[in-house]
């Protein structure tokens, strides 16, 4: 079974509108982290936002917010006031593991298949 599912292969959104990119996940761990990355055509992976499984508040970073619904196992990314520069591939990812240990950074990331977002002027 897929651990990370992104059901929207592509999306077209008018500039200045808000857009929601869907992500659902599957894990039996109690402690996990959810990430969103942006990948422009240059290929670099740009970290956007993070949500920990124990975080009670939805994460926000500037125009990015994460709509975390734990019971539904969804972690949708919301981009407000979209800009032309937002056109890129967006990947949802999950890290399973135990928080706080000395090897916290060793847990691998599992990525979804991505959504290609195109902002229309």
Partner 1 sequence: GAVVSQHPSWVICKSGTSVKIECRSLDFQATTMFWYRQFPKQSLMLMATSNEGSKATYEQGVEKDKFLINHASLTLSTLTVTSAHPEDSSFYICSASDGTSGPETQYFGPGTRLLVL
Q: Which residues bind partner 1 (CB under 8 A)?
A: 33, 35, 37, 42-45, 47, 50, 52, 91, 99-106, 108-114
Q: Which is nearer to partner 1, 41 or 121 (CB)?
A: 41
Residue partners of 43: CB distance under 8 A and separation at least 6: none
In the complex, the smallest distance separating the C-beta of residue 39 from partner 1, rounded to whole angstroms, is 9
Print burial letters for 91-111: b (CB count within 10 Å at least 16), e (below 16). bbbbbbeeeeeeeeeebeebe
Alpha carbons 38 and 116: distance in angstroms, whole number = 10
Q: Which is nearer to partner 1, 82 or 90 (CB)?
A: 90
In the complex, the smallest distance separating the C-beta of residue 26 from partner 1, rounded to whole angstroms, is 16
């Amino acid at each position: 079974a897929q651990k990370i599912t992104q059901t929207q292969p592509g999306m077209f959104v008018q500039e200045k509108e808000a857009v929601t990119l869907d992500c659902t996940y599957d894990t039996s761990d109690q402690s996990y982290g959810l990430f969103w990355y942006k990948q422009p055509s240059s290929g670099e992976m740009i970290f956007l936002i993070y949500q920990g499984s124990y975080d009670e508040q939805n994460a926000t970073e500037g125009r990015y917010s994460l709509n975390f619904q734990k019971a539904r196992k969804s972690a949708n990314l919301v981009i407000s006031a979209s800009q032309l520069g937002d056109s890129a591939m967006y990947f949802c990812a999950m890290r399973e593991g135990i928080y706080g240990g000395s090897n916290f950074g060793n847990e691998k990331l599992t990525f979804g298949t991505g959504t290609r977002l195109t902002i229309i002027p």
